[in-house]
């Protein structure tokens, strides 16, 4: 014990007299280890604490407070009681002792064993003996944190102080200026108002001491280490001011006053605070200020030049109207909502009768904002406004006025949409429907487009469109689809038809689909008639609109059952030649089928439709076309075209990806049987010869049927991973053989993609590893043989296998990567290998993506870059000069597909290669490299600034590139360079200005625009107020 006592006295002496602050940590460690207690420390500090020198007493208290900061958790209730009494007494001591005393009290407020009444005792001493605002920043923060700690743990005791606690806090906060402390003070004030502390007669004082900071105009300094933001302060203060209805009588006049400000941020903050406030208030809290609030809101919407202010003003009006709508009416009470809406209607309604004046839209927006607040408000405003709008529409002859009135009606219909009750407009239903349907018969395109939007809005309200109205609307929409040539009208009609069909499918099944079918299958005029060329073009446009409309309306299973046979009949007629359809039209029919597969709701009915009808029909038509192409040299079916086959693939793959597991398994089994065994039993129109071979070479060195393999890709590669593909090993063997021996690009590419898609989903194990080794060995043997006639096919297979393995992080991917890097030096395949890196890093649309249920790991691009960027640099340095462009192209393809955040981080290490890539003659490499560099130039690393000469020279050279995209991108980069440190770029100013004179006269407007921007920025460089 004597030794411990000696140690304690030594530590105290060294801290107090020796001014060694580190001894506080040593003392705290000894207390934690039990060598002595806190009370023993107080006894050891006796001489220091009773010294005649204030600074000595302060050092003694500082040591005790520092130890408490680390050891408050182990104190007993008796020790806490003694320490609180000691600290409260020290608050009356010399002012230099106050800071360490406050630190000690703060530590004690964290104790879980605070004696009852100690919280009140501490605060009474604090409020009585300390003038908080005369303290330094840290000590004021200490006081606020004490209050926060006690409010969290001793709320009941603090509420027992009544309004005295609020008064003490108001005195403590009054005059605070530091934003860090304001956050703490606002936190306390928010707790006071939200937790129901007694404000007593100090309600206005608490509001005044906090509202003096409203609106917040704080702007944090650059690189602020504390991270205090203006948004944090605004939100915290807003929570205080709007936290209690008792502040309403003070807050609302303040908001009205602040809305007169010329500062946009003050207006926005005031409006957003009003929204937050009235959401907590009752109608009696705001009734006194309605006229002033309405005048301010009306002014902000009528006169504002800012969309943000206008939106905030409209939101405030909605919130205010909603507040008034919550009032419960008594026989002797005033209806505040009706009174307020009378004000709104008085100032806005008459402007709706002036559709050619600019106040129509502000007035309409104000009325719509109030209308959307509640069911009561929507009834009042709709009853007042709708008859006037209908009358105005019927009396106006000018199309622009009628379109404006229709748009206003649409906004009103949409504004009450949230009420989900159609009877707001039920009294005006006949007039509204008549107005909209008559607008569809007009010849003005803009009026027709607006009418379709209003019709869509009306359809969202139950009961506003009767069956007869829907039938008439469908008739008008069909007529417009078949006769109207304006592109905007066509798009609007298709969109409207899609929206209505989801709500009223029967009318579209009986009316629209048969008429569209008849129009599509009508023959255009004789092709030898030269005068028929415009009509043929028009007929083609009608067919395209009909195909789009069929897809748009097919969202319900009942409609899909009727629309898909029409689209399949288009393909059948095009193949048979019974009706002439262009390749483009056949492709559009396939696109419509794919869109239907994407958007139709999942159900067994739709799954059966695709499984039993659509997929077999597509396979049958493609097979018929392939067999017909072998037979006669005459008419060629459009279904033989690569564009059509490629358009069929996403139809099948999208359908299969959404099939139920049972149907998906049956589809896989059918497809495998068809392609391996020639089993055509499930195909419609089954008149095919026996022993059809689709994956093997035909007699006479023919691979014409092999193009069907792209459809196999759609059938088996998009299935969920849980669906088993039968005879998978045999199928993959046949696909590998075709991909390495077939001579048709579509066939061997599709076979390689199908092989890769299946490989990606195979489970991990020895079977997978041996399959990969076998495939890689075969591909590499062909690639290593310079005389091989199938090197391109082997390369394609290797590339797709590499992508399949990259996506799932398979370890054997490294072997393929090394082989791909070695091919960059190949005389024949070098450019293709460089392009192959783009394929590896890009998302594939038809296979090996998450939509096809492929095994895709996160951040695979970043992983590939990290593992292979060094290899690429080494290969570039070792490559002969004529092969270096391949490496640069590969680098550009890799980096350009990385996320922008990764590019900014990683590019400085590859800067020399990227600058070299700017000199590469390949325009694709140039453009890709420029797009990589542009985000880096915003915040240039030191390595880039050091190579400024090379960068500027190469960028200026590219401003004369033959490719417009390269010229534009290089000018953007030059613009960004002007923002570099001025002393670094100023020496280049004259040179850049001379070089930019030429693109100012470029033949392309976009290039001239970028040149003007860049040259203006460089021209201002070095001037006062310039960059």
Locus of tokens 């000894």: 30
pLDDT of residue 526: 45
Locus of tokens 């702007």: 219
Of 418-427, 758-767, 832-841, the range with the lowest mean pLDDT is 418-427
pLDDT of residue 528: 45
Task: Give per-residue pLDDT as tens, 1000-1021.
Answer: 888 888 889 998 998 888 888 8
pLDDT of residue 313: 93
Range 349-365 average pLDDT = 83
CA distance 270 to 291: 17
Residue 423: Cβ within 10 Å count: 14
Helix ranges, 762-812 (H): 766-784, 791-807
Task: Note the pTM of the prediction, 2 decimals.
Answer: 0.77
CA distance 968 to 991: 19
Tokens of 124: 């009474």
pLDDT of residue 333: 52
CA distance 95 to 774: 86
**Residue 955 CB-density burial (10 A; 0-12 exposed, 13-18 middle, 19+ buried):** buried
Of 177-191, 607-621, 679-693, 830-844, the range with the lowest mean pLDDT is 679-693
Tokens of 215: 């609106």
Averaged confidence pLDDT in the chain: 85
Taking Cα atoms as reference points, which of 428, 431, 473 lies closest to residue 452? 473
CA distance 120 to 162: 11
pLDDT of residue 239: 93
Taking Cα atoms as reference points, which of 159, 172, 154, 155 lies closest to residue 209? 172
Task: Give per-residue pLDDT as tens, 100-130.
Answer: 999 989 998 988 888 888 989 999 998 888 8
Residue 623 has pLDDT above 90, yes or no: no
Tokens of 163: 């309004």
The CA-to-CA distance between both ends of the chain, in Å, stands at: 72
**Four-residue CA torsion sign, 641, 642, 646, 649:** positive
- Classified as helix, coil or strand, 6 is helix
Range 775-798 average pLDDT = 88
pLDDT of residue 257: 92
Residue 532 has pLDDT above 60, yes or no: no
Residue 655 has pLDDT above 60, yes or no: yes
What is the per-residue DSSP string for 935-992?
Answer: HHHHS--HHHHHTHHHHHHHHHHHTT-SSHHHHHHHHHHHHHHTTS-HHHHGGGHHHH
Of 27-41, 499-513, 715-729, 981-995, the range with the lowest mean pLDDT is 27-41
Higher pLDDT, 1027 or 192: 192
Q: Which H or E element spans position 995?
A: helix 989-995
pLDDT of residue 443: 86
Helix ranges, 460-582 (H): 467-483, 487-501, 505-507, 513-521, 533-553, 557-576
Residue 273 has pLDDT above 90, yes or no: yes
Helix ranges, 658-718 (H): 661-677, 709-716
Q: Which H or E element spans position 108?
A: helix 98-108
Higher pLDDT, 520 or 534: 520
546, 516 contact by CB (below 8 A): yes
CA dihedral 929, 931, 936, 939 (to 10 degrees): 140
pLDDT of residue 527: 43
* Beta-bridge partners for 698: 702
pLDDT of residue 168: 92
Bond preceding residue 215 cis, omega within 30 of 0: yes
Range 222-226 average pLDDT = 71
**Four-residue CA torsion sign, 116, 121, 123, 124:** positive
Residue 349 has pLDDT above 60, yes or no: yes
452-457 contacts: CB < 8 A, separation 24 or more? 452/477, 452/492, 452/493, 452/495, 452/496, 453/407, 453/410, 453/492, 453/496, 454/406, 454/409, 454/410, 454/413, 455/496, 455/500, 456/495, 456/496, 456/499, 456/500, 457/410, 457/413, 457/414, 457/417
Residue 670 has pLDDT above 80, yes or no: yes
Structure confidence at residue 912 as a pLDDT band (50, 70, 90): confident
Sequence-ordered list of residues with C-beta below 8 angstroms from that of 206, at least 6 positions apart, any chain: 166, 169, 170, 189, 192, 193, 199
Phi, psi of 503 (to 5 degrees): -100, -30
CA distance 846 to 857: 18
Residue 524 has pLDDT above 80, yes or no: no
The secondary structure of residue 510, as a DSSP letter, is I
Range 689-716 average pLDDT = 74
439, 450 contact by CB (below 8 A): yes
Task: Give per-residue pLDDT as tens, 13-55.
Answer: 888 877 777 777 878 888 777 777 888 888 888 888 888 888 8
Number of alpha carbons in the 13 Å side-chain half-sphere of residue 57: 20
Residue 418 has pLDDT above 50, yes or no: no
Of 103-117, 668-682, 935-949, the range with the lowest mean pLDDT is 935-949
Tokens of 902: 């990764």
Sequence-ordered list of residues with C-beta below 8 angstroms from that of 54, at least 6 positions apart, any chain: 93, 94, 96, 97
Tokens of 155: 């709320």
């Amino acid at each position: 014990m004597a030794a411990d006592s000696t140690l304690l006295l030594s530590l105290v002496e060294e801290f107090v007299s020796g001014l060694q602050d580190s001894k506080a940590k040593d003392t705290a460690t000894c207390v934690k280890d039990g060598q002595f207690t806190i009370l023993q420390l107080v006894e050891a500090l006796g001489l220091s604490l009773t010294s005649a020198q204030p600074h000595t007493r302060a050092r003694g208290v500082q040591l005790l407070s520092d130890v408490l900061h680390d050891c408050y958790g182990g104190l007993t209730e008796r020790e806490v009681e003694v320490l609180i009494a000691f600290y409260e007494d020290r608050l009356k001591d010399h002012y230099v002792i106050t800071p360490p005393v406050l630190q000690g009290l703060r530590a004690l407020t964290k104790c879980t064993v605070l004696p009852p009444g100690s919280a009140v005792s501490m605060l009474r001493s604090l409020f009585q003996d300390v003038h908080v605002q005369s303290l330094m920043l840290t000590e004021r923060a200490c006081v606020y944190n004490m209050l926060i700690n006690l409010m969290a743990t001793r709320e009941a005791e603090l509420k027992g102080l009544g309004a005295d606690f609020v008064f003490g806090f108001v005195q403590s906060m009054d005059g605070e200026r530091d934003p860090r402390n304001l956050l703490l003070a606002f936190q306390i004030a928010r707790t006071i108002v939200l937790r129901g502390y007694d404000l007593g007669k100090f309600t206005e004082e608490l509001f005044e001491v906090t509202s003096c900071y409203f609106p917040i105009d704080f702007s944090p300094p650059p690189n602020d280490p504390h991270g205090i933001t203006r948004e944090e302060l605004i939100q915290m203060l807003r929570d205080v001011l709007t936290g209690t209805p008792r502040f309403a009588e003070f807050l609302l006049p303040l908001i009205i006053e602040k809305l007169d400000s010329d500062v946009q941020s003050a207006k926005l903050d005031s409006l957003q605070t009003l929204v937050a406030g009235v959401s907590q208030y009752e109608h009696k809290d705001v009734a006194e200020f309605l006229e002033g609030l309405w005048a301010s809101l009306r002014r902000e919407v009528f006169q504002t030049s800012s969309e943000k202010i206008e939106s905030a003003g409209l939101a405030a009006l909605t919130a205010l109207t909603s507040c008034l709508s919550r009032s419960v009416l008594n026989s002797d009470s005033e209806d505040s909502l009706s009174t307020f809406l009378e004000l709104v209607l008085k100032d806005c309604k008459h402007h709706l009768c002036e559709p050619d004046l600019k106040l129509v839209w502000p007035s309409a927006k104000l009325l719509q904002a109030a209308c959307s607040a509640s069911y009561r408000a929507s009834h009042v405003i709709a009853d007042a406004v709708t008859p006037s709008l209908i009358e105005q529409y019927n009396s106006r002859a000018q199309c622009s006025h009628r379109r404006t009135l229709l748009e206003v009606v649409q906004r009103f219909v949409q504004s009450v949409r949230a009420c989900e009750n159609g009877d707001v407009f039920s009294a005006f239903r006949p007039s509204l429907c008549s107005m909209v349907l008559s607008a569809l018969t007009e010849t003005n395109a803009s009026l027709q487009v607006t009418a379709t939007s209003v019709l869509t809005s009306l359809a969202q309200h139950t009961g506003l469109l009767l069956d007869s109205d829907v039938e008439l609307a469908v008739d008008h929409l069909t007529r417009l689809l078949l006769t109207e040539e304006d592109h905007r009208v066509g798009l609007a009609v298709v969109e409207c038809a899609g929206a209505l069909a989801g709500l009223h499918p029967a009318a579209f099944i009986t009316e629209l689909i048969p008429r569209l079918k008849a129009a599509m299958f009508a023959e255009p005029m004789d092709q030898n008639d030269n005068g028929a060329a415009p009509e043929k073009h028009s007929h083609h446009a009608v067919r395209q609109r009909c195909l789009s409309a069929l897809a748009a309306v097919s969202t319900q299973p009942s409609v899909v059952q009727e629309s898909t046979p029409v689209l399949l009949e288009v393909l059948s007629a095009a193949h048979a030649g019974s009706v002439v359809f262009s390749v483009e039209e056949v492709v559009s029919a396939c696109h419509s089928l794919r869109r239907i597969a994407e958007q139709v709701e999942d159900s067994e009915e739709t799954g059966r439709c695709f499984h039993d009808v659509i997929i077999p029909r597509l396979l049958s038509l493609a097979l018929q076309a392939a067999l017909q192409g072998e037979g006669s040299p005459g008419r060629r079916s459009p279904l033989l075209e690569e564009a059509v086959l490629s358009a069929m693939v996403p139809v099948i793959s999208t359908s299969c990806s959404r099939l139920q597991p049972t149907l998906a398994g049956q589809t896989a089994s059918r497809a495998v049987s068809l392609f391996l065994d020639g089993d055509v039993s499930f195909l419609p129109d089954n008149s095919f010869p026996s022993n059809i071979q689709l994956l093997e070479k035909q007699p006479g060195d023919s691979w014409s049927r092999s193009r069907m393999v792209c459809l196999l890709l759609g059938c088996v590669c998009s299935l969920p991973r849980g669906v088993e593909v039968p005879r998978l090993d045999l199928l993959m063997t046949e696909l590998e053989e075709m991909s390495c021996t077939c001579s048709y690009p579509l066939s061997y590419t599709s076979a390689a993609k199908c092989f890769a898609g299946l490989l990606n989903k195979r489970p991990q194990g020895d079977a997978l590893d041996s399959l990969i080794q076998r495939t890689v060995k075969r591909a590499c043997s062909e690639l290593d043989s310079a005389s091989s006639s199938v090197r391109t096919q082997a390369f394609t297979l290797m590339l797709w296998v590499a992508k399949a393995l990259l996506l799932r992080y398979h370890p054997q991917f490294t072997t393929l990567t090394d082989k791909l890097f070695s091919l960059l030096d190949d005389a024949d395949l070098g450019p293709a290998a460089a392009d192959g890196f783009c394929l590896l890093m890009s998302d594939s649309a038809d296979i090996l993506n998450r939509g096809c249920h492929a095994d895709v790991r996160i951040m695979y691009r970043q992983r590939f870059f990290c593992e292979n960027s060094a290899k690429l640099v080494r290969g570039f340095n070792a490559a002969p000069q004529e092969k270096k462009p391949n490496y640069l192209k590969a680098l550009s393809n890799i980096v350009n597909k990385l996320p922008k955040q990764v590019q900014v981080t990683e590019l400085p290490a590859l800067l020399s290669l990227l600058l070299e890539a700017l000199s590469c003659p390949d325009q694709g490499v140039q453009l890709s490299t420029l797009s990589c560099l542009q985000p880096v130039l915003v915040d240039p690393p030191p390595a880039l600034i050091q190579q400024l000469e090379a960068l500027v020279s190469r960028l200026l050279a590219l401003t004369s590139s033959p490719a417009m995209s390269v010229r534009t991108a290089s000018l953007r980069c030059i613009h960004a360079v002007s923002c570099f440190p001025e002393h670094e770029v100023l020496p280049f100013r004259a040179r850049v200005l001379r070089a930019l004179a030429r693109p100012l006269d470029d033949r392309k407007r976009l290039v001239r625009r970028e040149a003007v921007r860049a040259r203006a920025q460089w021209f201002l460089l070095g001037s006062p107020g310039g960059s």
